[in-house]
Amino acid sequence: MFAARQSFGLFQKRAFSASASNASKVAVLGAGGGIGQPLSLLMKLNPRVTQLALYDIRGGPGVAADLSHINTNSTVTGYDPTPTGLKDALAGSEIVLIPAGVPRKPGMTRDDLFNTNASIVRDLAKAAAEAAPNANILVIANPVNSTVPIVAEVFKSKGVYNPKRLFGVTTLDVVRASRFISQVKTTDPANEEVPVVGGHSGVTIVPLLSQSNHADIEGEARDALVNRIQFGGDEVVKAKDGAGSATLSMAFAGARFAESLLKASQGVKGVVEPTFVDSPLYKDQGVDFFASRVELGPNGVETINPVGKVSAYEEKLLGAALEDLKKNIKKGVDFVKANP
Ligand code: NAD
Ligand code: LMR
């Protein structure tokens, strides 16, 4: 009982310190879905969030009513696709999380989702460009390698593109990498950090084991671990057997990224997260977006860290990733040009 009261007190203090001068509205688009619901729950539990706006084509108000009974200070409002629903959800948001879109079924690649999700993301981006042009846009909907360029093109077409405020959420890849390596080495995942660069699908996911605590993993063990990190999403798709893809681990990862961004915007220095952004690192090779470790700040992207020293094996992985990334990015850009 005493311990519970103590932790409540601590929570209240943190909530207080993040309130008033740091009003932070977070909008979740696709809030009724498998990711949207637990992600919204985690945002409701985050004391840095003062206002939570939950939009979905179905179920937004229901999820909002449910979460609104949780005794944290933030207000929660749900929105349906009424004529002003989406606009009202977006207005004044500091962070817009986009998990709206269909998930994979067994046998599908993330690119197979393009035909459905490209137009969903394009339309949500249009609304965001109009109602929340200065928000940080966090794209979760797959295929991330293409949906992020789609949002960029839409914002460009509306004259409000700020590359520092657009993020493809690749946090789940580093969360997995840290967990999987800890299983191989029987260590605490809290102490394991494996940089993962590139993009968010198959071979575009490039784990840099040489930069982890375990650069000594070689041969078959290394190949198996790299493969598991690259295709971790498939494990969940297979296990769910037609009922979707990762939702709970993704909500955890999305909430971690949003918290990092809020922390950075509230003045905490040295906040670094991997994320897929408009990046100078491989532009000379025709790859305009790339995931690497990015320092976050009040203006969004502060510093894009280079990939750093990699092994010959990782150099090869990077080569394959860049090939695919170029195609995935072009597909997103071409889609908006052909279907504005
Ligand atoms: P889901 O089907 O459970 O939920 C999607 C939600 O989006 C539904 O509630 C649906 O009504 C809503 N939606 C559809 N069109 C919409 C629109 N135009 N506006 C607002 N809402 C709309 O799917 P999920 O499991 O939550 O996955 C969502 C997306 O996230 C998928 O594309 C999936 O591939 C992707 N995903 C990405 C990562 C990542 O690491 N970036 C991880 C897991 C899943
Ligand atoms: C993941 O990595 O779990 C997501 O991108 C969902 C998927 O399709 O695998």
DSSP letters, 13-76, are HHHHHTSGGG--EEEEETTTSTTHHHHHHHHHT-TT--EEEEE-SSSHHHHHHHHTTSSSS-EE
Closest residue to atom 7 of ligand 2, CA basis: 233
Provide the pLDDT confidence category of residue 152 given band limits of 50, 70 and 90.
Answer: very high
**291 lies in some domain:** yes
Cα radius of gyration (the chain): 19
The enclosing domain of 138 has a CATH number of 3.40.50.720
Provide the pLDDT confidence category of residue 150 given band limits of 50, 70 and 90.
Answer: very high
Provide the pLDDT confidence category of residue 93 given band limits of 50, 70 and 90.
Answer: very high
pLDDT at 17 over 80: no
Question: Tell me, what DSSP letter sits at residue 107?
Answer: T
Assess whether 91 and 137 both reside in one domain. Answer: yes
pLDDT of the residue at 4: 31
**18 lies in some domain:** no
**4 lies in some domain:** no
Question: Tell me, what DSSP letter sits at residue 133?
Answer: T
Assess whether 199 and 121 both reside in one domain. Answer: no
Using the 3D structure, point to which of 169, 184, 206 is the last residue of a domain: 169
Burial class (CB in 10 A: 0-12, 13-18, 19+), 156: middle
Instruction: Using the mean position of ligand 2's atoms as its centre, give its distance from the Cα of residue 166 in Å.
Output: 20
Q: Minimum mean pLDDT among 15-24, 36-45, 68-77: which range?
A: 15-24
**245 lies in some domain:** yes
Q: Round to whole Å and give the CA distance between 180 and 263.
A: 27
Q: Which of 126, 165, 200, 222 is catalytic?
A: 200
Q: What is the ipTM of this complex?
A: 0.99
Using the 3D structure, point to which of 120, 136, 169 is the last residue of a domain: 169
The preferred substitution site among 245, 247, 249, 328 for testing ligand 2, maximizing ligand atoms within 8 Å of CB, is: 245
pLDDT at 264 over 60: yes
Does 274 contact ligand 2 (Cβ within 6 A)?
Answer: no
Q: Minimum mean pLDDT among 1-15, 34-48, 76-90, 272-286: which range?
A: 1-15
Does 63 contact ligand 1 (Cβ within 6 A)?
Answer: no
Instruction: Using the mean position of ligand 1's atoms as its centre, give its distance from the Cα of residue 3 in Å.
Output: 38
pLDDT of the residue at 23: 85
Q: In a 3-state reduction of DSSP, which class is residue 106?
A: coil
Q: Round to whole Å and give the CA distance between 175 and 92.
A: 30
For 224-246, the pLDDT digits (tens) are 999 999 999 999 999 999 999 99
| Both tokens assigned to 276 | 């897929």
pLDDT of the residue at 6: 32
Assess whether 30 and 43 both reside in one domain. Answer: yes
pLDDT of the residue at 165: 98
pLDDT at 298 over 80: yes
- Mean pLDDT, residues 30-49 taken together: 98
Assess whether 29 and 161 both reside in one domain. Answer: yes
Provide the pLDDT confidence category of residue 18 given band limits of 50, 70 and 90.
Answer: very low
Structural domains counted in the chain = 2
Q: Is 46 or 3 the better-scoring residue by pLDDT?
A: 46
Assess whether 200 and 250 both reside in one domain. Answer: yes
pLDDT at 154 over 80: yes
Q: Round to whole Å and give the CA distance between 46 and 257.
A: 12
**Which residues are annotated binding-site positions for substrate?**
104, 110, 142, 176
Q: Which of 108, 103, 111, 168 is nearest to 140 (CA)?
A: 168
**8 lies in some domain:** no
Please confirm, yes or no, whether 200 is among the known catalytic residues.
yes
Domain extent for 196: 171-330
Q: In a 3-state reduction of DSSP, which class is residue 200?
A: coil
What pTM was computed for the model? 0.95
Closest residue to atom 41 of ligand 1, CA basis: 140
For 209-228, the pLDDT digits (tens) are 999 999 999 999 999 999 99
Assess whether 152 and 198 both reside in one domain. Answer: no
End-to-end Cα distance, the chain? 58
Assess whether 79 and 181 both reside in one domain. Answer: no
- Mean pLDDT, residues 117-146 taken together: 98
Please give the number of the atom of ligand 2 that sits closest to the Cα of 201: 5
Q: Is 3 or 181 the better-scoring residue by pLDDT?
A: 181
| Cβ atoms 213, 191 nearer than 8 A | yes
**10 lies in some domain:** no
Instruction: Using the mean position of ligand 2's atoms as its centre, give its distance from the Cα of residue 328 in Å.
Output: 16
Instruction: Using the mean position of ligand 1's atoms as its centre, give its distance from the Cα of residue 244 in Å.
Output: 10
Q: Round to whole Å and give the CA distance between 324 and 74.
A: 42
Assess whether 135 and 232 both reside in one domain. Answer: no
